[in-house]
Amino acid sequence: MGKSKNPNNKVDVEGDVSGSVVITGSGNTVNIKKPNSPKHGDSWQWFIIILLIIVVAVIVFKLFSSAPLSDVTGTKSPTPVEATTSLPSLTANPTASPTDTETPIPPTQTSIPTVTSTPTFTPIPPVPLGEDLTQGCISKLWSAYPTTVPMEDKGNGCWKEPLHAFSADDGKLEFLFERQNGGEEIYGLFVPLPIEKGSITFTIRLEDLSNADLLMGVFSQPEVKSQGLLMMMLNGGVESNVFIRKNPITYETITGSRKISQGSGYSITFRFDNLSVRSVVNPAVFFIDPISLPASQKYLFLGYKGLNGYYRIEGTFLNFEVKP
């Protein structure tokens, strides 16, 4: 800055003095002059600039504060799961007190009935006679003789076996009994014939017939000592034997056959109607003429007579066949 003299004795300050204090003087007087204030237009420009800066700052702040974390970091933040507590549904009861407890009413259910399969049973013996034996059963239509023989119900219409000396097996009526000592005795089984008129045929196979006679016949009632046709096979014979007609009441011999070989078995047929009965030893080797037996219901008897002292029997009745 340089100084210069002038006629007015003013002090001049040289150089760029914009925005600075201007000093002038005359004699001993110093005048200080402030620079002019900025123009009014310049103040509005600064105000607008500052306002824009504030607006931009607010917008940037809003964007950063509302954007998800993934927008800033690149990693998606997990979405929070809203926890919901399920409360039981309550039914308002205006008459209930706060301490009342309502008893829940169970839903009405339609019960399905349980079906129990019950096997059906056909009463036996059916027709023809002997079909019960094929089922391994002595039907309750059979009755023991004498009536003092214990009979126990097996169920399904059958007697518990053995029924004294008799058992059913594969369509056969087997017999087996042995006694050491005693007097004469008769045991057997009665069964009603299923038809009024016709015939019944069966086979006999003997294994042992020691001191006992084998009995068979047709009667008007289930009693050996009643009116009927009684046939017997003599004790002691197995491989060959004879058939004899006996008086059922006195047990006297009426007539008999010659010896017949057993072979595959002895076969006999009883023919009957509502007035009479007769017998044939097959194959037509011995005949018994019809005898009077007026009864619509007749009974077949199969059994034996044990003689005095020791006796033993063993054998089978089989191949039962009923024909009208």
Q: Report, in this order, helix, strand and coil percent for the chain, each rounded to 5.
A: 10, 35, 50
User: Residue 43 has what pLDDT?
Assistant: 65
Give yes or no for a contact between 206 and 315, defined as CB atoms under 8 angstroms apart: yes
Question: CA of 261: how far to CAs of 11, 174, 237, 283, 284, in Å?
Answer: 185, 21, 10, 12, 14
In angstroms, rounded to a whole number, what is the distance separating the alpha carbons of residues 11 and 306? 183
Helix H or strand E segment including 52? helix 40-66
Helix H or strand E segment including 59? helix 40-66
How does DSSP assign 74-128, residue by residue? SSPPPPPPPP-PPPPP----TT--TT--PPPPPPP--PPPP---------SS-SS
- What tens-digit pLDDT sequence spans the chain (324 residues)? 444 444 455 445 444 544 444 455 555 554 555 555 445 555 667 778 887 888 777 776 776 665 454 444 444 444 444 444 444 444 444 444 444 445 555 555 555 555 455 445 444 444 457 789 988 899 999 999 999 999 999 988 899 999 999 999 989 999 999 999 999 999 999 999 999 999 999 999 999 999 999 999 999 999 999 999 999 999 999 999 999 999 999 999 999 999 999 999 999 999 999 999 999 999 999 999 999 999 999 999 999 999 999 999 999 999 999 999
Helix H or strand E segment including 228? strand 228-233
Q: Which residues contact 122 (CB under 8 A, 6 or more apart)?
A: none
Give yes or no for a contact between 268 and 277, defined as CB atoms under 8 angstroms apart: no
In angstroms, rounded to a whole number, what is the distance separating the alpha carbons of residues 171 and 135? 7
Helix H or strand E segment including 40? helix 40-66
User: Residue 124 has what pLDDT?
Assistant: 42
User: Residue 146 has what pLDDT?
Assistant: 97
Q: Which residues contact 90 (CB under 8 A, 6 or more apart)?
A: none
